[in-house]
Chains A and B, each alone.
Chain A
Amino acid sequence: MLQIRNLTVAFGPAARPVRAVSDVDLSIGAGEIVGIAGESGSGKTTLCAAIVRNLPRTARVSGDIRFDGRSIHAMSASELRQLRGREVSMILQNPMTSLDPLFTIGNQLGEVLATRCGVSSTQLREREVELLRSVHMTAPEERLRQYPHELSGGMRQRVLIAMAGSTAPKLLLADEPTTALDATIQEEILVLFRELRDRRGTAIAIVTHDLGVIRRICDRIVIMYAGRIVEEGPVAAVFGAPRHPYTRALLASVPVLDGDRVQLKSIPGQVPNLADLGDFCAFADRCPNAVDQCRAAAPKESAFGDRQRVFCWRTDELS
């Protein structure tokens, strides 16, 4: 359904471009939940913005993003509006600022329903209540009359999921949807994503740095580092047998509770400056297994069984 080919998003001067996303190949099938993981600055948010064509004007995009066969970056304004409103939705990280503070929940839900779904004004209220019920909101009639500041963060994120799901989109992009919420609420919100997929067949891309979120709800995981994909595959396969050194380091850096002590392993070194990256492996400087070849040429892609791909020179020796 969504196919991304050789996508590169560059900023800054052409002579010394900063590639926020570099040579990304990715496809997302209908009804699939894909987790995109990576540290801050790994390009995951830029990737999302590129998919909905919401990049700053200064961004230079090359490569191709196709949605049901149509190239997103070649679309006219009206086609794009059609795509954005109905087929692709998005949820942002902070539910506190994602609703207009001056209008009631009902007012804002109504706007989406009336303009995007063509619901008539007589049915509007009924559909609003229905929509809030679908995200398990308590006392939906009362919520409709309330203003965003009267709702908790979790409730607002529910409202936003209800809005995003109201058009039965084919693809929902969720940029750090649970980061601003506390742990008990996170679980409930994740359940909503799964329900949306099961009920409407919506494919969902969840961008997060929380591997726990991906493990709990995603079918597939894509791991990004410095704007590139380093490993991709089914969640069970990647978590069970990570093949890229970065994936291993990332999984190892999840804090482990050992009795009453928390062990925290960090990855030595720092994320490289995107402007200084050459064409070789971006992780080479922090990689415990790096050899000369890693600093000389772009990493080799190797495929494993069930759609698992790894970008590393030493995959065969190390796995």
Chain B
Amino acid sequence: MSATSGPVYAFWRVPPATNDRASPLPWLTIACCAVLVIAALFGNWIAPYPKEAVSLGASLLPPAWQQGGSVQHLLGTDQLGRDILSRLIAGARISLATAAAATLVSGAFGVLVGLVAGYAGGIVESIAMRIVDAFLALPFILLALALVATLGTGFGNIIVVMVIANWARYARLVRSEVLSVKQRDFVTLARIAGVRPLTIMLRHVLPNVLNSVVVLAILDVGRAIILESSLSFLGVGIQPPDVSWGLMLADGRTLMVFAWWLTTLPGLLIVFAVLSFNSLGRWLHARFDPRGQL
């Protein structure tokens, strides 16, 4: 391992200013993610209407800038006269909460498995990694349909399905990182200094692995948003009266010819959210992993 290509910073430290501070792109990315997170957290106060407020007299209004649109409903209304903007904001909460919960749980579980496998080695590692391979080979949509058919829908079950789809990637990443960190001199020295293996793993190996995990987790938020939207679109994810972007896409698709805004707006928002989190992940990647080991 060469020490010449610049220092590595732990993810909990703010790296000192470098040239890319001059570029506005990272801040734009962070701003985009912040908008989404704020919408998710404070949506109830921001949204002009409650998400389920029906007003049949004002159904299928186009966005305000189109003919027939109204400033009362900036992004128009759906077939039941519900405000699209309010529903998108409410959807942000569900989509981000699902993505965050699924990412946290699958990250924690994957890190645990990877750490144990990399630390134990031998037969434990072989078995754990074959299981990981098996999970990585599962066709996600089929699996999700089967699971929801048996477990039933609901927020908890969606998280379970997404964890099953995602945890293996963390396990594989962490296990390979553990193998390389285990070989490094400071770990050898700690071992020779009589530090307990468990202490070494938690005190020295885990922190050196976490940077990569954080990057993968941020990139995974984008992935999780897509997964949740797909599930909801197929009718096995979020159920009405809750609202999610995928669900709005599904609801609006029969009326796509007459009311483009019903499908296009949630679709664009999914693209925007995934792009934002992906580029945040890329940026963090460059920051935390200057050697490009991930």
Is B a genuine binding partner of A?
yes
B173 contacts A by Cβ under 8 Å? no
B68 to chain A, nearest CB (A): 59
Instruction: Please tell me if the beta carbons of B3 and A102 are within 8 angstroms of each other in the complex.
Output: no
Give 6 nearest A-B pairs by CB, closest first.
A85-B194, A149-B7, A84-B194, A81-B194, A96-B3, A102-B10
The residue on B at minimum CB distance from A150 is B7
A99 to chain B, nearest CB (A): 6
Q: Which of A83, A92, A96, A101 contacts B194 (CB 8 A)?
A: A83
Q: Which of B188, B194, B208 contacts A82 (CB 8 A)?
A: B194
Specify which chain B residues have a CB less than 8 angstroms from the CB of A160 in the assembled complex: 189
B207 contacts A by Cβ under 8 Å? yes
B154 to chain A, nearest CB (A): 40
Specify which chain A residues have a CB less than 8 angstroms from the CB of B3 in the assembled complex: 96-97, 149
B281 to chain A, nearest CB (A): 20
Instruction: Please tell me if the beta carbons of A97 and B186 are within 8 angstroms of each other in the complex.
Output: yes
A6 contacts B by Cβ under 8 Å? no
Give residues of chain A (156-173) contacting chain B, Cβ–Cβ below 8 Å: 160, 163
Instruction: Please tell me if the beta carbons of A100 and B204 are within 8 angstroms of each other in the complex.
Output: yes
B253 contacts A by Cβ under 8 Å? no
A86 to B192, CA, bound (A): 10
Instruction: Enumerate 10 A-B pairs (CB-CB under 8 Å) in ascending A order.
Output: A81-B194, A81-B196, A85-B195, A89-B193, A90-B192, A92-B189, A96-B3, A97-B184, A97-B185, A100-B208
Specify which chain B residues have a CB less than 8 angstroms from the CB of A85 in the assembled complex: 193-195
From known contacts A98-B186, A100-B186, A100-B208, infer whether A54 and B203 are also in contact, taking CB-CB under 8 Å. no
Instruction: Please tell me if the beta carbons of B186 and A84 are within 8 angstroms of each other in the complex.
Output: no
A147 to B259, CA, bound (A): 59
Instruction: Please tell me if the beta carbons of A112 and B185 are within 8 angstroms of each other in the complex.
Output: no
B8 contacts A by Cβ under 8 Å? yes
Specify which chain A residues have a CB less than 8 angstroms from the CB of B194 in the assembled complex: 80-86, 116
Give residues of chain A (92-133) contacting chain B, Cβ–Cβ below 8 Å: 92, 94, 96-103, 111-112, 115-116
A251 contacts B by Cβ under 8 Å? no
Specify which chain B residues have a CB less than 8 angstroms from the CB of A96 in the assembled complex: 3
Specify which chain A residues have a CB less than 8 angstroms from the CB of B184 in the assembled complex: 97
A274 contacts B by Cβ under 8 Å? no
A56 to chain B, nearest CB (A): 11
B116 to chain A, nearest CB (A): 18
Specify which chain A residues have a CB less than 8 angstroms from the CB of B204 in the assembled complex: 100
A156 to B191, CA, bound (A): 19
Instruction: Please tell me if the beta carbons of B203 and A111 are within 8 angstroms of each other in the complex.
Output: yes
Specify which chain B residues have a CB less than 8 angstroms from the CB of A86 in the assembled complex: 194
From known contacts A100-B204, A101-B8, A102-B8, infer whether A92 and B195 are also in contact, taking CB-CB under 8 Å. no
Q: Which of B8, B186, B188, B199 contacts A54 (CB 8 A)?
A: B188
Q: Which of A80, A88, A97 contacts B1 (CB 8 A)?
A: A97
Specify which chain A residues have a CB less than 8 angstroms from the CB of B193 in the assembled complex: 84-85, 89-90, 112, 116, 163
A240 to chain B, nearest CB (A): 35
A52 contacts B by Cβ under 8 Å? yes
Q: Which of A80, A89, A92 contacts B185 (CB 8 A)?
A: A92
The residue on B at minimum CB distance from A148 is B7
A97-B184, A98-B189, A102-B207 given; name 17 further pairs at CB < 8 Å. Answer: A80-B194, A83-B194, A84-B191, A84-B192, A90-B192, A92-B185, A97-B185, A97-B186, A98-B186, A99-B186, A100-B208, A102-B9, A103-B207, A111-B203, A115-B195, A115-B199, A147-B7
Specify which chain B residues have a CB less than 8 angstroms from the CB of A84 in the assembled complex: 191-194
From known contacts A84-B194, A97-B1, A97-B3, infer whether A92 and B188 are also in contact, taking CB-CB under 8 Å. yes
Instruction: Please tell me if the beta carbons of A54 and B191 are within 8 angstroms of each other in the complex.
Output: yes
Give residues of chain B (116-174) contacting chain A, Cβ–Cβ below 8 Å: none
Instruction: Please tell me if the beta carbons of A101 and B195 are within 8 angstroms of each other in the complex.
Output: no
A96 to B192, CA, bound (A): 18
A163 to B207, CA, bound (A): 21
A304 to chain B, nearest CB (A): 35
A92 to B7, CA, bound (A): 20
A97 to chain B, nearest CB (A): 4
The residue on A at minimum CB distance from B10 is A102
Counting chain B CB atoms within 10 Å of each CB, which of A83, A88, A103, A116 scores highest?
A: A103
A82 to chain B, nearest CB (A): 7
A51 to B75, CA, bound (A): 75
Give residues of chain B (191-219) contacting chain A, Cβ–Cβ below 8 Å: 191-196, 199, 203-204, 207-208
B38 to chain A, nearest CB (A): 31
A100 to B200, CA, bound (A): 11
A100 to B1, CA, bound (A): 13
Specify which chain A residues have a CB less than 8 angstroms from the CB of B191 in the assembled complex: 54, 84
Specify which chain B residues have a CB less than 8 angstroms from the CB of A112 in the assembled complex: 193
A255 to B3, CA, bound (A): 31
Instruction: Please tell me if the beta carbons of B195 and A54 are within 8 angstroms of each other in the complex.
Output: no
Specify which chain B residues have a CB less than 8 angstroms from the CB of A54 in the assembled complex: 188, 191-192
Specify which chain B residues have a CB less than 8 angstroms from the CB of A101 in the assembled complex: 7-8, 208
A85 to B189, CA, bound (A): 10
B121 to chain A, nearest CB (A): 9
A81 to B199, CA, bound (A): 13
A116 to B194, CA, bound (A): 9
Instruction: Please tell me if the beta carbons of B189 and A90 are within 8 angstroms of each other in the complex.
Output: yes
A84 to B192, CA, bound (A): 6
A52 to B194, CA, bound (A): 10
Specify which chain B residues have a CB less than 8 angstroms from the CB of A88 in the assembled complex: 192
A85 to B196, CA, bound (A): 10
A283 to B84, CA, bound (A): 87
A101 to B188, CA, bound (A): 14
The residue on A at minimum CB distance from B193 is A85
From known contacts A100-B186, A102-B208, infer whether A52 and B192 are also in contact, taking CB-CB under 8 Å. yes
